[in-house]
Amino acid sequence: MKSQSIRSAFKNRPALKIRLLAVSLLGLTAAALLYYPSLMSAERGVPDQPVQQPAVLGMPDSAQTPVIEAVFVLDTTGSMGGLIQAAKDKIWSIATSMASAQPAPEIRMGLVAYRDRGDDYVTRVVDLSSDLDAIQAQLMRFQAQGGGDGPESVNLALNDALHRIGWSQGAGVYRVIFLVGDAEAHMDYQDEAQYPAILKQARRQGIRINAIQCGDLSGTQEQWRHIAQLGDGSYFQVGQSGSAVAIATPFDETLAKLGADLDDTRLYYGAADERAHKRDKLAATKAVQAEASAASQARRAEYASTKSGAAGLLGDKELIEEVSTGRLALEDLPAEQLPEPLKALEVEQQRELIANQAAKRDALRQEIQRVSAERAKYLKDRLSESGDAESSLDNKIFGAVREQGADVGLSFGSAAPAY
């Protein structure tokens, strides 16, 4: 009856219809004007409007698990080959250093690769994820090419790190960007935002920017120091190759094998599309195992044995962890959502398999921690002989994280950087 009355009123009041139509057209026009600059910005890769709030990953509760969100903005031009290789090799030790914080944080990483206009690409963005296998699989695709002509598209890279990354909001989150490069920013591109304005917005969003200069170009040093100052971060200089600690140990092969065995204990449940997504996760692990060095896989195993690493590498919908910790009751799970290896088993056989896998997983983690302690002692002895630890990329990143993480309640106590 109400809708009939409204239609009747409109029929008898054509002037009202005209006014409503005009208001609607005005609203659509305003919306289009607001949307058009954003559309054009996306097409050109440059911002025409003030910095907007980023997409929200979540709202972590500061009373619960703290979060570290770290985005590495990497120059991938030809001169950066050594540093890019160091990043591929050391992503796990950087994560392990972060995981030594108390309380144990959730760790998410992201990437922005940048070159310059006229190269194969200007920027490539990999969003934040706690699945570091997926991050490293993307990192492995980055190759050092192009460049060689001076300044690079640093401004666009920083802008993408701010706007195309899904930073979370709320308290208890240490948000940080590590800018890594050897050439200064193009300040002559008039159609893109420049770093002073970008960093001002980053500070408003609680994102710190650390500037890591590779090599010793004087123009870069001056600009990188300015970026760190405006970004409420740290500036430090490393060698052109990155100055990361890269020492093979007699324990690497053993740890790599233990890590692979730990990976094989994973069983995922869920709807068909959820299990398909988890197959992609396992495929990323296989890619890392196939391409990474034994030393890199050893570092990965060490990270996997930490509380932060276990949470990230297992992810959600992992049957062994959720049943063995009481977060999921096996009898509540529909049969069609079971992992394939369990579907043909009786309930008691399922329980036995889960218990055995959980016990195997615990034993593997303990063995990884034991061998990792031996590896750490070996590295400590070698580094004390060479004296390279203090000036290493590993140590400088850890120092920045230790100091800045304290602002959100992260404490590293007597922890040392992992290598």
Quote the pLDDT of residue 241: 77
Amino acid at 268: Y
Q: Could you tell me which of 253, 241, 344, 357 has the C-alpha nearest to residue 297?
A: 253
Work out the average pLDDT over 224-234. Answer: 98
pLDDT score, position 52? 32
Distance CA 211, CA 224 (A): 6
CATH code linked to domain 67-245+388-408: 3.40.50.410
Each domain of the chain, given as residue ranges in start order, spans: 67-245+388-408, 252-385
Check pLDDT > 70 for residue 6: no
The DSSP code for 226 is: H
Are residues 168 and 59 in contact, defined by beta-carbon separation less than 8 angstroms?
Answer: yes
Instruction: Answer yes or no: are the C-beta atoms of 144 and 84 closer than 8 Å.
Output: yes
From the list 289, 348, 359, 286, the residue with the least C-alpha distance to 321 is 359
**Tens digit of each residue's pLDDT (9 = 90 or more) over 59-84:** 344 457 899 999 999 999 999 999 89
3-state secondary structure of 227: helix
* Predicted local distance difference test score (pLDDT) of residue 146: 80
What is the Cα–Cα distance from 22 to 259, expressed in whole angstroms?
66
Predicted pLDDT at 143: 92
Per-residue pLDDT of 264-307, as tens digits, reads 999 999 999 999 999 999 999 998 999 999 999 999 999 999 99
pLDDT tens-digit profile of 100-132? Answer: 999 999 999 999 999 999 999 999 999 999 999
Q: What is the pTM of this model?
A: 0.83
**Looking at the predicted structure, is the pLDDT value of residue 51 above 90?**
no
